[in-house]
Structure 1
Amino acid sequence: MTVTLDKSVEDFVATPRQLFIDGRWVDAASGRTFATPNPATGRPLAQVAEPDAEDVERAVRAARRAFDGPWSRLTPSERGRLIWKIGDLILEHADEPAQLESLDNGKPLAVARAADIPLSADKVWPTSPAASGSAPGWSPTRRWGRWSPTNNSSA
């Protein structure tokens, strides 16, 4: 079965992807990129910035500035409302990320639309004390950098 992609998804895949750090789209510090393959064809699907430790550190510094700045001045309730809004927007625009997930992982579009995208929204919505920063072991400065050649969202 052939799926017709939304124009926005076609444009997204056709444009080389950068990293989102400090509120801006930027190239990897090394300038390196890689082609992520279309699992259905093996041909390149998109060209993506290849982050390394320097990029993770840049992102951590930006997150720290945001946390020490406006984010820390918000109440837990205000932070929660903003995070909930992200989950709502994921569902509001579910067709686009579902198409991207299907292309990137080779899974049926119906599975991405019915399972992956709603589960992504569920993971964003604050359902634990971590949303307020009060969960044991939670740290706004813990360094998490993930690069996965398969981009498997369930990992």
Structure 2
Amino acid sequence: MDMQFLTNEGQQRALSQLEFLRTVKRAEIAQYLREAVEAGDVTRNAAFDDAKFEQAQLEKRIAELEQLLANAQIVDVEQVATEVVSVGSVVHLAAENGSTRQYTIVGSYEADPGAGRISHESPVGKALLGRRASDYIIISTPGGVKTYTIIRVE
């Protein structure tokens, strides 16, 4: 697994999800398995097969979260420098047409472009890293070429 960046908030969300999956979801699936076994012959029992599949998916997700948390570099957004754009920065941009955008640069696990949280690995994220306020940037994205001026970095 490549190096992943997590903000403090992202780390807490991952820990909460992991705890939920380990406790609540594991118990639910264990109950489904018990019910399927009690229903009779497990060799021809679709409910048992479904429960085993769900169990495998759950354990895979738990392992992914454990690995993410074990290997992630935690970014304290309170300590992020505001001179240059880095993971954890909030970047305010102005487009040529006068519209403005605000992006928070995060690791890929936390990316949610619709909410303005873009991955440092995305085309826009890559173009912004290391830049400063007042820099003019041209970004080639899947939606076409975009040009922005960085208004400020928080």
TM-score range, shorter chain: under 0.3
Structure number with larger C-alpha Rg: 2
With normalisation by structure 2, the TM-score equals: 0.26
Higher strand share: 2
With normalisation by structure 1, the TM-score equals: 0.26
